[in-house]
Amino acid sequence: MTGVEHYLSIFTKAVFIENIVLAYFLGLCSFLAISKKIDASVGIGLAVIVVLTITAPINWFLWEFLLDKGALVWISQDFKDTDLGFLKLIVFISVIAAMVQLVEMFMERFSQSLYNSLGIFLPLIAVNCSILGGSLFMVEREYTISETVVYGFGSGVGFFLAIVALASIRYRIRYSNIPPRLRGVGMAMLLTGLLSMAFMAFSGIDL
């Protein structure tokens, strides 16, 4: 596969076939907690898209030029056996926490309206597993930099789609007669199961 097609296939895969929430179970905590309201879901969905698209490439650079085995050869050949891979968790999570803080400050300065709508969700995102998961999958699948950008953005869109869909379903069933102990999270899990079954239908698509 060449050029655009290849990136299109990574994107579609990240959004539909290997949806980060419905197939890999990442970011479920905020997914369940916030999907009670539609506007809030849209807000956190957008924030996840922004943060994932920014942090995945940054972590790619750190992995490629600092942490991977033999990544330090650009300093000197003596480092060609140095493997700092065990530091990746600490480095990635610090980058994510720092980026989230930066994005928040940036938004506050330049786009007050966006800040007002996304502001409260940004700190939550630092501990959203989908962000760290995106970086870890990027390392495990050995993506190149441009593939990483597409993958990060695609995963964000996948999260957005899933959370808005669940929020809309939960809104629809507000007045349904659900057994009292199943209400809330239990019902949300069953709905997510059905949603994930629907998304599995995409897995037949061969790209």
Partner 1 sequence: MELFNSESKKIVSDPINVNNPISLQVLGICSALAVTIRLDQAIIMTLAVVFVLCSSNVILSLIRNYIPTRVRIVIMLSVIASLVSVVDELLKAYLYDMSKQLSVFVGLIITNCIIMGRAEAFALKHGPSKAFLDGLGNSMGYGLIIIVVSFFRELFGAGTITLPDGGAGYVLWRIPESWYAAGYENIGLLVLSPGAFIILGLVIWIQREFAGVEEDA
Total residues at interface with partner 1 (CB under 8 A): 49
User: Does residue 121 interact with partner 1 by CB under 8 A?
Assistant: no
98 or 145: CB nearest partner 1: 98
DSSP H/E element including 171: helix 145-172
Q: CB of residue 175 vs partner 1: minimum separation in angstroms? A: 12
Within positions 6 to 25, which residues make up the interface with partner 1, using CB under 8 A?
22-25
Question: Do 159 and 21 form a contact (C-beta atoms < 8 A)?
Answer: yes
29 or 75: CB nearest partner 1: 29
24 or 79: CB nearest partner 1: 24
Within positions 57 to 116, which residues make up the interface with partner 1, using CB under 8 A?
86-90, 93-94, 97
Q: CB of residue 157 vs partner 1: minimum separation in angstroms? A: 18
28 or 49: CB nearest partner 1: 28
Contacts of 143 (CB under 8 A, 6+ apart): 10, 60, 151
Report the amino acid identity of residue 195: L
User: Does residue 189 interact with partner 1 by CB under 8 A?
Assistant: yes
User: Does residue 137 interact with partner 1 by CB under 8 A?
Assistant: yes
Q: Token pair for residue 159? A: 């999260």
Of 126, 164, 169, 202, the one binding partner 1 by CB under 8 A: 126
Query: Using a CB cutoff of 8 Å and minimum separation of 24, what contacts does 178-184 make?
Result: none
179 or 204: CB nearest partner 1: 179
- 3-class secondary-structure state, position 144: coil
The dihedrals phi and psi of 68, each to the nearest 5 degrees, come to -65, 160
DSSP string, 32-45: HHHTTSHHHHHHHH
Report the distance separating Cα 161 and Cα 29, nearest Å. 16
Report the distance separating Cα 27 and Cα 44, nearest Å. 11
Which residues form the interface with partner 1 (CB under 8 A)? 22-29, 32-33, 36, 86-90, 93-94, 97, 123, 126-129, 131-133, 136-137, 140, 170, 179-190, 192-194, 196-197, 200
